[in-house]
């Protein structure tokens, strides 16, 4: 059984919920570190995650969310002087071995430290960029969107190449110790259902199929209102969907009623609502209300709708964790 499913099954037997907020950036408060330092020094990155694990004790933990790791590994990181992407660059990208990219390897080394030094009961997760979003980082979001209509063969060529790059990265992360891979595909929220399947869902399905007989779970995370594509997200071969908050238009209770019980649903407390601006008491109330709505759904994991902002008050994260950890299902 996959380790995420096993942990969820054990939690259900104990009448409790798994609590997995996406809280990499607030951990910087615990170490007085910076995003730049943590992302460039895997020892510092691990210190942040170790402090998060020790302080909040989540059921699973992820590194700092970063949508530019793979793009950086193939020469497209935007902090460097920008050069326009051209079709001729595809041959170069095909031959790049991302295993030699220092920043990407920093994330892999962080996962290794997580595997070796964090408590065994905390599941190790990792993020990768989704195929359509990575294609958009190469072309620009506007050009990728236009290509879904007028240059589909070219976009498919790019999506195929970047999916192979993502797969290489996934393999490195799994070998380092990750048992959960969260696919970040924010740009896909702008696609219609058919375009989503064509330029994201089908590529994610091929990626997941490579690891279907392993104990690694895959999560699809897309920010915003995904109601128009949730059905297709659930058919992509992933094990779980990580969904945004009610403020983004997501009614988690309705969604839970319309997905199969073997599809894990993760969410969906707003990261920029009560968590950021509320009080400890208001966070407790919001979390309790969500947990009460999810009664009867064994395939639910409590989380935030997206990564928490760095300045999120630590006392609000404690309120989130304590409320979720102490809640018991009838």
Q: Return the pLDDT at 176.
A: 98
Least confident segment among 7-11, 77-81, 302-306, 324-328: 77-81
Residue 84 pLDDT > 70 = no
Write down the pTM of the prediction. Answer: 0.94
* Mean pLDDT in residue range 142-161: 96
* Mean pLDDT in residue range 204-214: 95
Q: Give 81's pLDDT tier (boundaries 50, 70, 90).
A: very low
Q: 153: Cβ–Cβ under 8 A, 6 or more apart, which residues?
A: none
CA angle 289, 259, 201 (to 5 degrees): 115
**Ordered alpha helix ranges (H), 228-313:** 230-234, 252-256, 274-277, 280-293
Average pLDDT in the chain: 94
Picking from 227, 228, 267, 269, the residue whose alpha carbon sits closest to that of residue 247 is 269
User: DSSP labels for 211-249?
Assistant: TTTSS-EEEEE--S--TTTHHHHHTSS-SEEE---GGGT
Q: Give 90's pLDDT tier (boundaries 50, 70, 90).
A: confident
Q: Return the pLDDT at 79.
A: 45
CA angle 31, 32, 36 (to 5 degrees): 100
Q: Return the pLDDT at 92.
A: 85
Alpha carbon distance 52, 162 (integer Å): 32
Residue 83 pLDDT > 60 = no
Q: What is the pLDDT of residues 43-71, one digit of tens each?
A: 999 999 999 999 999 999 999 998 888 88
Q: Sketch the domain layout of the chain as residue ranges.
A: 3-326
Q: Which tokens in the block code for residue 203?
A: 């590529």
Q: Give 88's pLDDT tier (boundaries 50, 70, 90).
A: confident
Residue 316 pLDDT > 60 = yes
CA angle 173, 118, 323 (to 5 degrees): 105
Query: Which numeric CATH code is attached to 3-326?
Result: 3.20.20.210
């Amino acid at each position: 059984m996959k380790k995420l499913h096993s942990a969820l099954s054990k939690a259900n037997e104990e009448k409790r919920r798994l609590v997995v907020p996406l809280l990499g950036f607030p951990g910087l408060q615990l170490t007085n570190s910076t995003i730049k330092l943590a992302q460039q020094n895997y020892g510092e990155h691990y210190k942040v995650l170790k402090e998060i694990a020790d302080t909040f004790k989540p059921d699973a933990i992820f590194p700092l969310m970063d949508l530019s790791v793979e793009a950086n590994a193939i020469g497209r990181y935007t902090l460097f002087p920008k050069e326009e992407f051209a079709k001729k660059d595809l041959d170069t990208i095909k031959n790049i071995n991302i295993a030699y990219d220092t920043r990407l390897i920093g994330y892999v080394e962080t996962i290794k430290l997580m595997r070796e030094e964090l408590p065994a009961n905390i599941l190790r997760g990792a993020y990768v960029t989704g195929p359509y979003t990575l294609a958009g980082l190469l072309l620009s979001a506007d050009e990728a969107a236009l290509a879904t209509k007028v240059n589909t063969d070219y976009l498919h060529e790019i999506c195929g190449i970047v999916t192979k790059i993502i797969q290489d990265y996934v393999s490195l992360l799994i070998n380092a110790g990750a048992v959960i891979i969260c696919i970040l595909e924010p740009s896909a929220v702008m696609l219609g259902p058919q375009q989503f399947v064509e330029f994201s869902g089908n590529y994610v399905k091929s990626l997941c199929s490579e690891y279907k007989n392993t104990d690694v779970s895959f999560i699809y995370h897309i920010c915003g209102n995904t109601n128009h594509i949730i059905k297709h997200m659930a058919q992509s071969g992933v094990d779980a969907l990580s969904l945004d908050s009610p403020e983004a238009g997501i009614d988690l209770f309705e969604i839970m009623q319309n997905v199969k019980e073997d599809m894990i649903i993760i969410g969906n407390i707003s990261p920029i609502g009560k968590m950021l601006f509320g009080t400890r008491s208001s966070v407790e109330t919001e979390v309790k209300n969500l947990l009460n709505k999810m009664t009867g759904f064994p395939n639910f994991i409590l989380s935030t709708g997206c990564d928490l902002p760095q300045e999120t008050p630590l006392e609000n994260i404690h309120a989130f964790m304590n409320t979720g950890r102490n809640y018991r299902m009838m």
